[in-house]
């Protein structure tokens, strides 16, 4: 089994080098750019036949001095020239050179990827329970997102980032960077302001945590309110007794 695989691999390598076929990774270009796809060291002879295809559809054919098909620009040495490329020009380009006897001299295959430059992203902040959610937008599937905290690159990737309250301090700022193979842009820094952030600062007043102070103050306020009501009732009762006493005295004086 291993012997058969080895033989097949050797046959493919021999065929590739004997025919001059060369396949490389994708050429990334921005929309509106210029692309030249050549045969490297091969020189096109006057009596040669030259063929170019785009996604297996023939776009150029030259036999000797006669040009049979000319949908795209080709230089004198046989190189394919694409100017002001758009996204619909992405795909596989294949060029073949035959000699006057119809024998294959050179073949090249090249993938072209035309991309739009990335847009400037923004970071959206959403305060949630026990943390904050950060979203970097806009972005597409072909773009990569990285995050920075306080100017330092983090290990976080992806459009969504969750930061728990224990890791979020007052004054922390975040930014995201969106990139593809042709461009890169960063968002303006944001400083999340959420209620949990203040709690994490561990504010103490006279040695007591802020939450305990609030509980004490709330309880003390309730006690003072109850005490005020009791005092008010007592005062009202006293005034009523005084009024009744004065009324009784006046009645006795009228009798005598």
pLDDT for the residue numbered 251: 54
Domain boundaries, position 144: 122-199
pLDDT for the residue numbered 146: 96
Number of domains in the chain: 2
- Are 30 and 96 in the same domain? yes
Q: How far is the C-alpha of 139 from the C-alpha of 160, rounded, in Å?
A: 11
- Are 111 and 154 in the same domain? no
63 contacts: CB under 8 Å, gap ≥ 6: 49
pTM, full prediction: 0.61
Percent of the chain as helix, strand, coil, to the nearest 5: 30, 40, 30
Q: For residue 16, is it within any domain?
A: no
Which residue, 172, 199, 226, sits at the end of a domain?
199
Q: For residue 31, is it within any domain?
A: yes
- Are 78 and 94 in the same domain? yes
Which residue, 115, 134, 165, sits at the end of a domain?
115
DSSP string, 143-168: -EEEEEETTEEEEEESSEEEEEGGG-
- Are 111 and 133 in the same domain? no
Instruction: Kindly report, residue by residue over 119-152, the tens digit of the pLDDT.
Output: 999 999 999 988 999 999 987 888 999 999 999 9
Domain of residue 93, CATH code: 2.60.40.10
Q: For residue 73, is it within any domain?
A: yes
């Amino acid at each position: 089994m291993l012997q058969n695989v080895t033989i097949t691999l050797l046959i493919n390598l021999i065929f590739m080098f004997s025919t001059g076929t060369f396949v490389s990774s994708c050429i990334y270009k921005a929309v509106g750019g210029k692309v030249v796809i050549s045969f490297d060291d091969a020189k096109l002879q006057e009596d040669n036949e030259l063929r170019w295809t785009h996604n297996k559809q023939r776009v150029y054919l030259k036999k000797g001095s006669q040009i049979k098909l000319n949908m795209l620009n080709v230089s004198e040495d046989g190189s394919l020239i694409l100017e002001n490329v758009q996204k619909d020009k992405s795909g596989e380009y294949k060029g073949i050179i035959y000699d006057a006897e119809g024998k294959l001299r050179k073949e090249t295959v090249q993938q072209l990827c035309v991309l739009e430059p990335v847009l400037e992203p923004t970071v959206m902040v959403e305060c949630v329970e026990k943390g904050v959610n950060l979203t970097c937008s806009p972005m597409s599937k072909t773009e990569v997102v990285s995050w920075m905290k306080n100017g330092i690159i983090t290990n976080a990737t992806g459009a969504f980032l969750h930061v728990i309250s224990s890791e979020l301090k007052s004054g922390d700022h975040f930014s995201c960077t969106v990139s593809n193979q042709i461009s890169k842009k960063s968002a303006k820094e944001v400083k999340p302001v959420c209620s949990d952030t203040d709690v994490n600062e561990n504010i103490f007043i006279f040695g007591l945590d802020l939450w305990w102070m609030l509980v004490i103050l709330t309880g003390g306020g309730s006690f003072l309110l109850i005490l005020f009501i009791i005092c008010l009732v007592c005062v009202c009762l006293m005034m009523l007794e005084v009024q009744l006493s004065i009324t009784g005295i006046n009645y006795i004086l009228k009798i005598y």
